[in-house]
Structure 1
Amino acid sequence: MNRIAPAVLAGLLALAAPVACTSPAKNSPGTSDSASHKEGAPVGKFGAPVEVGAKLHQNKATVTVRFLSAGSDVRVDLSGVDGLQVSGDASPVRGAQVQGASTQTFDVDFTPGAGRSHLVVTVSGTFDGNPLSKVASFSVGDATEAQQKSAGSVVTDESGQSIKLMQSTDAK
């Protein structure tokens, strides 16, 4: 009986360790831990200080990029996902200097893919001395029946959260 008690205690400590390390109270930005999180400070990944919007039409989009601060070597790239093909210049801005609080608008011609496809706008450059980027995606069309079907299997982790497992594909 004496030999079992240390093994059980060690097992319980091993199970409790991951829970203690991932406590939502310590990691939550809403806590009063002001030493690690200042009020109004950004949380998560830093991105380029831009806002990207698009008004989509039949085979055309009007893309608006609003710069919130000055930047250098700024580039705007347009691409498609799920069969969408961008017509014309896929990089309407290359190596540009932008002033803070400026807006640029582009008309983009494209051929949508079957069902739902996506127009992707990537803005990158140097802002406040840091290379940053931001990616925005805009869906075009309605999903086909095949696109609506689940491509992966759903499992539940030990905390009860659903996770979708997707098949990996090799990029060629």
Structure 2
Amino acid sequence: MNRMTFAALPGFFALLALAACSSSTKSTPSSTTSSTASEQVVHGKMQAPVVVNAEMQDASARVTLRFDTPATGVRVSVRGLDGLVVTSQPTLADGVDFPSNATASYDVAFTRGSGRSHLVVSVSGDFKGAHQSRVASFAIGTPTNAQRSSNATKTEGANGERIKVMPVDPQ
């Protein structure tokens, strides 16, 4: 090879690298690709493919679950946070199997806490051969002044999201 070839090769490779970098940063997902609800982009921890809703009343809630895929050995439990006390059975289902697109509804009785309190619904089981869970929290009530003025440290994450660093509650 001659000297001209050796001189041109580094420039050629630099242009190739620049073209590869610029095309990958400008690419956007195609809107013509067909994707179903189960193929959504997942950010963070994998969760069970079940939708959890609750219709909150003054002293009860109607919890409704919709299973997007078949599920086996499902356990559904509820508990209260911030003063809410569940007065009905805390385990709504244990070891139950659900086909795809099945729905299940459960009534939950509770006593509200002062200010804002939460009903937490936990669903776990085997979905497509993998043990997964989903937890959902539903608020009821208006926060008290003490609840509004949290002693949490407020900061921003790497992507600009708001983060509250809560102190440890020794129990």
> TM-score, with normalisation over the residues of structure 1?
0.71
Which of the two has higher C-alpha Rg? 2
For the pair 1:83 / 2:94, whether they are aligned, the reply is no
Report the alpha carbon displacement of residue 168 of structure 1 after superposing the two structures with TM. 1.8
Tell me how far apart the structure 2 counterparts of residues 161 and 51 of structure 1 sit (CA, whole Å).
25
Determine the structure 1 residue equivalent to 2:111: 111
Report the alpha carbon displacement of residue 64 of structure 1 after superposing the two structures with TM. 0.5
Gaps of 5+ in 2: 1-23
For the aligned residue pairs, the C-alpha RMSD in angstroms reads: 2.8
Report the alpha carbon displacement of residue 150 of structure 1 after superposing the two structures with TM. 2.6
Provide, for residues 11-45 of structure 1, a one-character-per-residue CA deviation record: whole Å limited to 9, x for no partner. Answer: xxxxxxxxxxxxxxx9x9x95489xxx97543222
Tell me how far apart the structure 2 counterparts of residues 65 and 104 of structure 1 sit (CA, whole Å).
5
Determine the structure 1 residue equivalent to 2:144: 144
Report the alpha carbon displacement of residue 92 of structure 1 after superposing the two structures with TM. 1.2
Tell me how far apart the structure 2 counterparts of residues 50 and 159 of structure 1 sit (CA, whole Å).
28
The verdict on how the C-alpha distance between 1:89 and 1:161 changes in structure 2, with shifts beyond 3 A counting, is closer
Determine the structure 2 residue equivalent to 1:53: 53
| Matched-pair identity in % | 38
Tell me how far apart the structure 2 counterparts of residues 66 and 147 of structure 1 sit (CA, whole Å).
32
Tell me how far apart the structure 1 counterparts of residues 169 and 27 of structure 2 sit (CA, whole Å).
40
Determine the structure 2 residue equivalent to 1:43: 42
**Aligned residues between the structures:** 141
Determine the structure 2 residue equivalent to 1:12: none
Secondary structure at the counterpart of residue 58 of structure 1: coil
Determine the structure 2 residue equivalent to 1:13: none
The verdict on how the C-alpha distance between 1:128 and 1:160 changes in structure 2, with shifts beyond 3 A counting, is closer
The verdict on how the C-alpha distance between 1:53 and 1:156 changes in structure 2, with shifts beyond 3 A counting, is closer
The verdict on how the C-alpha distance between 1:93 and 1:156 changes in structure 2, with shifts beyond 3 A counting, is closer
> TM-score, with normalisation over the residues of structure 2?
0.72
Report the alpha carbon displacement of residue 154 of structure 1 after superposing the two structures with TM. 3.2
The verdict on how the C-alpha distance between 1:69 and 1:159 changes in structure 2, with shifts beyond 3 A counting, is closer
